[in-house]
Amino acid sequence: MVSIEVSGGRTPHDALHDAVDWGRVVVATVARGVVATLLGLALWAAAPAVIGWLPTTVMTGSMAPRIVPGDVVVSRPVAPAELRVGQVLLADDPDQAGHLRMHRFVEAGPRGSVVTKGDANPEPDSTAITRSDVHGVAFLRIPVVGTPIVWMRDGDWSKVALLVLAVAVVLWLATVDGSLRRLAAAGREDDDGPGPDDGPGPSPRHSLEAPPSSAPSARPDGRSGRHVLSRHGLPRQVLSRRAHRRQARRQRRLRGTGGVAAVVLVAGGLGLLLPAQAVAAPFTAKTSTASGSLQAATAVATTALTCVGNSDNSVTIGFTYAGAPGVVSSFDVMAGSTVVGTAVGTASSVRVVGTGILSLGANVTVTVRTNLGGTWTATSTSTTKIQTALVGTNLSCG
């Protein structure tokens, strides 16, 4: 009996190895796509500054849901005569020196001024804006790009650290197919050698080595047989295949290092290009200066917070304010660092609806912040709880 050995079939190990290689290629491709997308968003956010447009990081939610904290809004400069009702304007804040306000133009004010209002605010801003203080009209919104700036302002350094770690992991994942690309490059180098029909030259078996000889032949000019003449008659050393590959690896490492350095430099430059922050907080209280004098005031925290459910599935947060009357700009209900409800400075309660709280099926602890304008605030130590529904936007008291 004659036995015949059949070979050439693929083993399960080979199939598994190929699947792992394909997975590395897919993961690296997706990671490079993520890096390219983030860099593209950052470029869209910062590049318009080159032509005089104004990218601005949004820090508060007074323009929600169209514009939310962490968005970067690019404003194009316009002439004062071109301002129209309905436009979102970036202007100097008349209530806070050195700050910017990004609100919507809702009506014309006295003496050609502009009355603005945040889309999420119940009332227009109490102080009108002069047209000369308007820097531009919102033209382009780039989402999420400015979120790290919001985190740094709020002191959420743990989130910043996690973001840096995530970016580092994505950059590493973008290189997991590096060995496969090097193997492919080495294969192309092998295929670049001259073939049998390419005429005289090195052997196709070893395209980069000099032809074998029994001994280096002496030349009239004293050079050994390991040197050949280039096209222009100048001597050059023929590299071995191994030396050529070492040189190619060095070049690839230099290109990779240069690419990482370029990403770091571009990201750092874009961070420096991001402009001042637009703090679009609600301003609804009016200042009375009948006597022509000003009275100093101190922000006083509210006490005795209560929660009452409403028939429309919203809740009302009540509180007691013992400070001086007429000096408070607004009261904000805060879930952590997020404003979930706002009322004017003369109110004693704030209505909260479900669209302002994103956590579903949670028992959310809230406080009340007293705002006198700018950084003059006081947050209550008293708290109350709001229960959100698992589905929908219904709220109840926790």
Classify residue 326 as left (phi > 0), alpha (psi -120 to 50) or beta.
Answer: left
CA–CA distance, 295 with 290 (Å, rounded to integer): 12
pLDDT of residue 216: 47
Q: Taking 70 as the threshold, does the pLDDT of residue 361 lie above it?
A: yes
Q: Who has greater pLDDT, 89 or 2?
A: 89
Q: Taking 90 as the threshold, does the pLDDT of residue 360 lie above it?
A: no
Choose the CATH number for 52-144 among 3.40.50.300, 3.40.430.10, 2.10.109.10, 3.40.720.10: 2.10.109.10
CA–CA distance, 201 with 207 (Å, rounded to integer): 8
Token pair listed for 94: 């008349």
User: What are the pLDDT digits (tens) for 264-287?
Assistant: 555 555 444 444 455 443 333 333
The average pLDDT across 164-183 equals 86
Q: Taking 90 as the threshold, does the pLDDT of residue 319 lie above it?
A: yes
User: What are the pLDDT digits (tens) for 64-106?
Assistant: 888 999 999 999 999 998 999 999 999 999 888 888 999 999 9
CA–CA distance, 206 with 22 (Å, rounded to integer): 31
Percent of the chain topping pLDDT 90: 28
User: What are the pLDDT digits (tens) for 221-273?
Assistant: 444 444 444 444 444 455 566 776 676 666 666 556 555 555 555 555 544 44
Choose the CATH number for 303-397 among 2.60.40.3080, 2.60.40.10, 1.10.10.10, 2.102.10.10: 2.60.40.10
Q: So where are the chain's domains? A: 52-144, 303-397
The average pLDDT across 279-299 equals 43
**Which band of pLDDT confidence, cut at 50, 70 and 90, is reported for residue 385?**
very high
**Whole-structure pTM value:** 0.47
Q: Taking 80 as the threshold, does the pLDDT of residue 50 lie above it?
A: yes
Q: Taking 70 as the threshold, does the pLDDT of residue 342 lie above it?
A: yes
The average pLDDT across 185-205 equals 51
Residue entry with tokens 């022509």 = 292
**Which band of pLDDT confidence, cut at 50, 70 and 90, is reported for residue 111?**
confident
